[in-house]
Structure 1
């Protein structure tokens, strides 16, 4: 996801769709990308707004949501015109404070947006452009947003929304191979809490095993094989794809329920992972998504 975002910034693509199923980790992906952008490109302003279940259909309400995400002191007072002007000035102020000319806006749950919301976003992008500011919008949502894109493409009056905000389309997939597990499992071995300590997450739960060389990252094939066996037993007629939430939940369960077995020779077995995956509700999640996956395959 981060690679796709950086590529859009390099190519000057001002609007892109990032889509994936619920529980795939998109919201955490936004946080991850935001943090890396602020670290790698400190002169770029990065903001995130989450579209509410029923997005405001009034100009004032919509600009109030954007102002609140920009931490403005008065996001909900004044007329629609005043809130609009306040947003332009707030965005300009943030960019000026960063000594740059670029603003990145992630819109979470973007499948909820309607035409009028895109029109208002276009006005914001245009007004900032007049002030010498480049605004990039990344629409992050569920696959239903692709239906909106198709509908906009078929109408001359709305096709400009696609050319403005939906130029690139990037799928946010689950984990599809054992190799995909390497990085997230390694993260438990490397990430420490508190950050300036030597206590990684793996070491916290299994200190003796960790000090003896046990690493979750080395277990990627065991973990994948176990997920694959559970998937096969469920008789799912679509390829295995692990949502990030269920990998993380399985890891947490495997670590926390096996603390008492910690020892210098201990390693998480296939049976440990099988129990953790069962308790994570992974199978129930796939059953709920069965219709979607089969439809995609066809």
Structure 2
């Protein structure tokens, strides 16, 4: 059957332009393998750290989806820590209840909220017909000692109920300082042995080969499901049908980002956050939909415009001091 040529929906309704899509990256793959390794070896906790805008929250969502497909009998709980989280036990457990989608997260004493949370998590595990609970804590660098102690209480209670709890702390590099301070104190070292056993640095794109993984995903991801409309084809249908593929542009895109990096005079090794690659692709496809033709290609100039409009340079300039600290002698 010949592929259809009439787009099935308006461009503004496409996931690419409303940013409701996910594509894989090498770091997401590494993060997922780290999570699977911990679960299969019985390692109860791991740190996954990386800079802001590196795509860590996005990676959690992607890994949750993969886990639900691969580990059907494992329950998953995802918590995002707010700025300056309360040190109130009652409010903390209320936040956990809300994340667990309990119908009454804000009522009752701290003890009542604790008990409701324990029962809710056990119920989630029971629905999965398993004995494992995977907990993701996003922005984990915001956790304070009290929060870790309360999470330890949750883990203890799950153990008493025959449930193995695996906790993955996902946050910015400053969380490593917290781990170091905990290790130096005998009263807090057990927090490390429970929640911070493994470590993984969540990286940006570090080569053209890294970029190719994600760019190819735009060529292969389909929307609407079951159609022949890949993301790339939806925006550049004639070019795509004539052989155009984003995956073939990985060297060019890397070179354009490298040029922007050099012109900004950054004195640290280039590493492209997922946020800015995604923005560049969205600009490149979204702004050129009207130029689609069988012979159309995304030129160096068009990619340079997309990288410039992605705000990649401005974002990394804000993090310049952090990167210099990360790259001594670079």
* TM bucket normalised to smaller: over 0.9
Residue matched to 2:304: 274
SS at match of 1:21: coil
Residue matched to 1:200: 230
What is the deviation of 1:196?
2.1
Residue matched to 1:235: 265
CA distance in 2, matches of 1:153, 1:206: 54
SS at match of 1:18: strand
SS at match of 1:248: helix
What is the TM-score of this pair, normalised by structure 1? Answer: 0.98
CA distance in 2, matches of 1:84, 1:279: 47
**Aligned ranges 1:1-298 → 2 under 5 Å:** 1-298=31-328
> Over aligned residue pairs, what C-alpha RMSD do you find?
0.8
CA distance in 2, matches of 1:54, 1:283: 29
> Which aligned runs of 4 or more in structure 1 are off by greater than 4 angstroms?
none
Residue matched to 2:11: none
SS at match of 2:319: helix
Unaligned runs of 5+ in 2: 1-30
SS at match of 1:56: coil
CA distance in 1, matches of 2:316, 2:289: 29
SS at match of 2:325: helix
**Matched residue pairs, number?**
298
- Encode CA deviations 1:173-206: one digit per residue, 9 max, x unaligned: 1000000011211111111121222111111110
Unaligned runs of 5+ in 1: none
